[in-house]
A and B are shown apart, each in its own frame.
Chain A
Amino acid sequence: MAFLELKNISKSFAHAKGMLQVLNDINFNVEEGEFVAIVGPSGCGKSTLLRIINGIVPMTSGQVLYRGRQVDGINLECALVFQSFALLPWLSVKANVELGLEAQGLPPAEREKRAGIYIDKVGLDGFEEAYPRELSGGMKQRVGFARALAVEPKVLMLDEPFSALDALPAITLREELLDMWQSPDMPVKNILHVTHIIEEAIELADRIIVMAAGPGRIVKDLKVELPRPRDRRTDAFNALTDKVFSLIEERG
């Protein structure tokens, strides 16, 4: 029994001129312990797919099985990190990180302790009382990560987490993500990472699912077997990049 199973997922949106199909018959399984990247051009529905798995967007047809069972509503063992950071501007860093814990009914003292731990883990110790407008993009995304990690999810879902950052902070955060993933005391068992940056997917993931648009469908499911840490300047890396690129190009 796979950790996460997606069976025949399709999604259509009502549109002014009729129905627009964003996802068509998506099927794949994810085993425990996998870092899966979902790569594709814009409009291929990859962000929507993530939200369907999480449960905040309902699918039109199909089934999502989490640990063998269908989850009704929101899957609280998945936590989402947003491309636009999605921090509430009127809450401090601490309050933003505690948001998920508050939703899950943890008492205040517990919340504060947990939040403190994860704010520390993402390197924002000392910024607990700062407000989002006082932070840089990289720092805001760290808060986003802290908020997601604080609920100690089994599946971490990343929706283009570094696409809105400058190149330098993005590089730093990628490395830190990898460090976190490879450290032994992580409750996170799986990462689903949606991105349109091919190199990012190859650098981080064990497995790449390549999608195409119009309507969104899976083109190829590749394994990445390069040893970590992966160097972008090696031939193997570049070959893989070219391969994924051509897959997207010819079907996209």
Chain B
Amino acid sequence: MLEVSGLRKMFGTKIDPRRLINGTLSFLALAAIIALFFAYRSAPHLVPRKIPVSIRHLPYYAFCSFYRMLAAYIIALVFSIVYGMAAARGGLYERILIPAIDIAQSVPVVGFFPAAVYFFVALAHGSRLGVEMAAVFLIFTSQAWNMALGVYEAVKTIPDDSREAIETFGGRGWLKFRRLLLPASIPKLVYNSILSWVAGWYFLIACEIITAGPATYRLPGLGSFLWQASEKGRNFDLAAGLLTLLAIIVLMDMIVWQPLSTWAEKFKYEFAASSGAVQSLGMFDALSGVGPAVTRTLRSILLPPMRLIATSLNALPRGPELSPEQSKRLGAIVRNLIIVTILIFTTWALARGLVALIKTLAQPWPSDAKQIPEAIVLSTIRMTIAYAISLAWTVPCALAASENPRFNRILSPIAEIVGSMPATALFPIIVAAFIEFTGGMNVASIVLILTGMQWYLLFNLLAGINQVPEDLKEAARAFGLSRVARWRKLILPAVTPSLITGSITAWGGGWNALILSEYFVYNDQTHQVLGIGALLDAATYSKSGNGVMILLSLLSMIAVVLLLNRLMWRPLYNLATERYRLDY
């Protein structure tokens, strides 16, 4: 698919020294920030407890997990709107905010553990509130980045004419936000919200069982329930927990996501609107009316008090009228104040973090550290095998979907639901099965990585397939192209950008799954393979809690992810969008 000249262009370019320096500096900054939280290591006094595993508690646990996901999602939503729109303003904002989020995306969720624990738990003096906040924060990190990038993309691609139409009538600030920027972001926000919840459910287990050194905090919730059930080998409870999760996901899909997706169509520009009707699961249409009904009730409840607040605010005596020049200057002062505060805080954090980084790394390195290079290579090999397997089944699936519209319509919601199921909860069963048959954690680990990779690939491929314009397909048919020729000449090239985007996301999900898949305890037995995930886990979850090892393995993993992104995925993506973009 990629021509030789393209490959040559990619590898033949000289490395730009400026980009090298930028990359090193940003990596250092990231390392400093991670190390920052190690500086606050203390032993918060919280008795690690086991939560009762019994079906009676399931509804309560489900509710707990759901409200944690919801809280994290709302914070992520607000964050992504503010962050994305700030970055879309361009200039310096863009140049700082976008690379920052790029880096944040490469950090596996486990990488935020130190931050979560040492900051939130210590902040709340070891109380339950601190642990809850830590869990919400962790879920937030698995949700926020792709939503913020979605908002950024959406605002940047607003057609010039729409902008000018608002500007020419003097619309700016709040009006511009309400009438243009926010509505334009809604399609991407809805789509990315669905993905974010998928990611959140997948990592729920990791987020509800937080470990720092000798202490483990388990929060009552679906995640910890599932994990404990599988740890103890209580398969019936495990199944019950999984069914509960499945029920929540399916209900959310019908009541929230399907109606939202339909509503979001209203905000798409005509050239972007999907040509077919949005798929719905037929007989569940009645239930999908619940969502809009809920919003209507909410609105009728909230509107009167809000109107009351608005009128009373209007009734207040107006302050001195500012001339446009004065108000512009005031706005600039406020904005500069905020920026300066953020700058001061960031500089302090970076400095403190650098100090902590140096101090931690100056300690004697544990002997395990020698294994890191080999571990990285082995992990990367496992990732590549899992990726190859994912490609092997998702591409034919997508091609089949492009041929058969009915298959396409059935595939998407199924993929969404199955993809949201946290395979992490099934890990123990999968591990047990493969250990019996092939006598190696290696295969089990690859299978587990697969579960974190393949769905992203499939979703993106399906999205790409659905965007191939009808008239190109008609032209192919009219010229009598055979099916294979059609795939080779039209479909595959057209979905290449989506394939690359999907691959980037898939590898991101894969790295996260890798960490969970290379090491765990089941039935009081430790199963592991040599890999960077295993090293990280062993260091994190071991009783001694070796800080240096955690930091070293974490940083080396992030370095590998970043390098792969910069040297391989980015150039591939640029190549793909240059050659294969549907723009005519």
Chain A: residues with CB nearer than 8 A to chain B?
A: 51, 54, 56, 74, 76, 78-80, 82, 84-91, 99-100, 102-104, 131, 133, 147, 151
Q: Which residues in window 5-43 of B have CB below 8 A to A? A: none
A76 & B169 in contact (Cβ 8 Å cutoff):
yes
* Chain A residues, Cβ within 8 Å of B161: 82, 84-86
A103 & B164 in contact (Cβ 8 Å cutoff):
no
A90 & B266 in contact (Cβ 8 Å cutoff):
yes
Contact with A86, one of B164, B179, B183, B270 (Cβ below 8 angstroms):
B164
A54 & B183 in contact (Cβ 8 Å cutoff):
no
* Chain A residues, Cβ within 8 Å of B183: 88, 90
- B320 contacts A by Cβ under 8 Å: no
Contact with A79, one of B166, B168, B175 (Cβ below 8 angstroms):
B168
A89 & B268 in contact (Cβ 8 Å cutoff):
yes
Separation of A173 and B164 alpha carbons in the complex (Å): 23
* Chain B residues, Cβ within 8 Å of A88: 162, 165, 179-180, 183
Separation of A85 and B165 alpha carbons in the complex (Å): 9
- B170 contacts A by Cβ under 8 Å: yes
A89 & B269 in contact (Cβ 8 Å cutoff):
yes
* Chain A residues, Cβ within 8 Å of B164: 51, 56, 80, 82, 86
Q: Which residues in window 168-222 of B have CB below 8 A to A? A: 168-171, 175, 179-180, 183
* Chain A residues, Cβ within 8 Å of B165: 80, 82, 86-88, 99, 147
- B167 contacts A by Cβ under 8 Å: yes
Separation of A32 and B74 alpha carbons in the complex (Å): 55
> What are 29 sample pairs from A and B whose C-beta atoms fall under 8 A apart?
A51-B164, A56-B164, A76-B170, A79-B169, A80-B164, A80-B165, A80-B168, A82-B161, A82-B164, A84-B159, A86-B162, A86-B164, A88-B162, A88-B165, A88-B179, A88-B180, A88-B183, A90-B183, A90-B266, A99-B166, A99-B171, A100-B169, A100-B171, A102-B175, A103-B169, A103-B175, A104-B169, A147-B165, A151-B169
Knowing A84-B161, A88-B179, say if A103 contacts B171 (CB, 8 Å). Answer: yes
Separation of A76 and B269 alpha carbons in the complex (Å): 27
Separation of A103 and B159 alpha carbons in the complex (Å): 19
From B164, B175, B268, name the one whose CB has the most chain A CB atoms within 10 angstroms.
B164
Query: Nearest Cβ distance between residue A66 and chain B, in whole angstroms?
Result: 15
* Chain A residues, Cβ within 8 Å of B169: 76, 79, 99-100, 103-104, 151
Separation of A56 and B268 alpha carbons in the complex (Å): 25
Q: Which 4 A-B pairs have the closest CB atoms?
A: A103-B171, A100-B169, A86-B161, A86-B165
Contact with B270, one of A51, A91, A102, A133 (Cβ below 8 angstroms):
A133
* Chain B residues, Cβ within 8 Å of A51: 164
**5 additional contacts (CB under 8 A) given A84-B161, A91-B179:** A56-B167, A74-B168, A76-B169, A88-B183, A133-B273
* Chain A residues, Cβ within 8 Å of B167: 56, 74
Separation of A79 and B168 alpha carbons in the complex (Å): 7
* Chain B residues, Cβ within 8 Å of A147: 165
Separation of A86 and B179 alpha carbons in the complex (Å): 13
- B267 contacts A by Cβ under 8 Å: yes
Separation of A134 and B117 alpha carbons in the complex (Å): 54
* Chain A residues, Cβ within 8 Å of B180: 88
Total contacting residues, chain B, CB less than 8 A: 21
Separation of A56 and B165 alpha carbons in the complex (Å): 10
* Chain B residues, Cβ within 8 Å of A104: 169-170
* Chain A residues, Cβ within 8 Å of B175: 102-103
Query: Nearest Cβ distance between residue B187 and chain A, in whole angstroms?
Result: 10
Query: Nearest Cβ distance between residue A160 and chain B, in whole angstroms?
Result: 12
Q: Which residues in window 60-117 of B have CB below 8 A to A? A: none
Chain B: residues with CB nearer than 8 A to chain A?
A: 159, 161-162, 164-171, 175, 179-180, 183, 266-270, 273
Tell me the number of A-to-B contacts counted with CB atoms below 8 Å: 65
Separation of A182 and B273 alpha carbons in the complex (Å): 41
A103 & B166 in contact (Cβ 8 Å cutoff):
yes
Separation of A82 and B160 alpha carbons in the complex (Å): 11
* Chain B residues, Cβ within 8 Å of A56: 164, 167-168
Contact with B267, one of A76, A89, A99 (Cβ below 8 angstroms):
A89
Query: Nearest Cβ distance between residue B236 and chain A, in whole angstroms?
Result: 49
Separation of A102 and B180 alpha carbons in the complex (Å): 13
Query: Nearest Cβ distance between residue A75 and chain B, in whole angstroms?
Result: 9
B168 & A54 in contact (Cβ 8 Å cutoff):
yes
From A82, A85, A88, name the one whose CB has the most chain B CB atoms within 10 angstroms.
A88
Query: Nearest Cβ distance between residue B558 and chain A, in whole angstroms?
Result: 33
* Chain B residues, Cβ within 8 Å of A100: 169-171
Query: Nearest Cβ distance between residue B271 and chain A, in whole angstroms?
Result: 10
* Chain B residues, Cβ within 8 Å of A131: 266
Query: Nearest Cβ distance between residue B160 and chain A, in whole angstroms?
Result: 9
Separation of A231 and B223 alpha carbons in the complex (Å): 79
* Chain B residues, Cβ within 8 Å of A74: 167-168, 170
Knowing A84-B161, A103-B171, say if A90 contacts B166 (CB, 8 Å). Answer: no
Separation of A44 and B169 alpha carbons in the complex (Å): 25
From B159, B161, B267, name the one whose CB has the most chain A CB atoms within 10 angstroms.
B161
Closest residue on chain A to residue B178 by CB atoms: A102
Closest residue on chain B to residue A83 by CB atoms: B161
Separation of A84 and B270 alpha carbons in the complex (Å): 12
B273 & A99 in contact (Cβ 8 Å cutoff):
no
Separation of A112 and B169 alpha carbons in the complex (Å): 17
* Chain B residues, Cβ within 8 Å of A103: 166, 169-171, 175
Query: Nearest Cβ distance between residue B331 and chain A, in whole angstroms?
Result: 14
Closest residue on chain A to residue B328 by CB atoms: A73
* Chain A residues, Cβ within 8 Å of B269: 89
Query: Nearest Cβ distance between residue A121 and chain B, in whole angstroms?
Result: 18
Separation of A191 and B168 alpha carbons in the complex (Å): 16
* Chain B residues, Cβ within 8 Å of A78: 168
Separation of A74 and B171 alpha carbons in the complex (Å): 10
Query: Nearest Cβ distance between residue A55 and chain B, in whole angstroms?
Result: 8
A89 & B270 in contact (Cβ 8 Å cutoff):
yes
Separation of A82 and B162 alpha carbons in the complex (Å): 10
* Chain B residues, Cβ within 8 Å of A79: 168-169
Query: Nearest Cβ distance between residue A175 and chain B, in whole angstroms?
Result: 25
Separation of A89 and B187 alpha carbons in the complex (Å): 12
Query: Nearest Cβ distance between residue B395 and chain A, in whole angstroms?
Result: 34
* Chain B residues, Cβ within 8 Å of A90: 183, 266-267
Query: Nearest Cβ distance between residue A150 and chain B, in whole angstroms?
Result: 9
Closest residue on chain B to residue A96 by CB atoms: B165
Closest residue on chain B to residue A157 by CB atoms: B168
Query: Nearest Cβ distance between residue B381 and chain A, in whole angstroms?
Result: 41
Query: Nearest Cβ distance between residue B181 and chain A, in whole angstroms?
Result: 11
From B164, B168, B169, B270, name the one whose CB has the most chain A CB atoms within 10 angstroms.
B168
Separation of A211 and B472 alpha carbons in the complex (Å): 39
Query: Nearest Cβ distance between residue B545 and chain A, in whole angstroms?
Result: 52
Separation of A84 and B179 alpha carbons in the complex (Å): 19
* Chain B residues, Cβ within 8 Å of A87: 165
Separation of A13 and B171 alpha carbons in the complex (Å): 24
* Chain A residues, Cβ within 8 Å of B159: 84, 86
Query: Nearest Cβ distance between residue A63 and chain B, in whole angstroms?
Result: 20
Separation of A78 and B169 alpha carbons in the complex (Å): 8
* Chain A residues, Cβ within 8 Å of B170: 74, 76, 100, 103-104
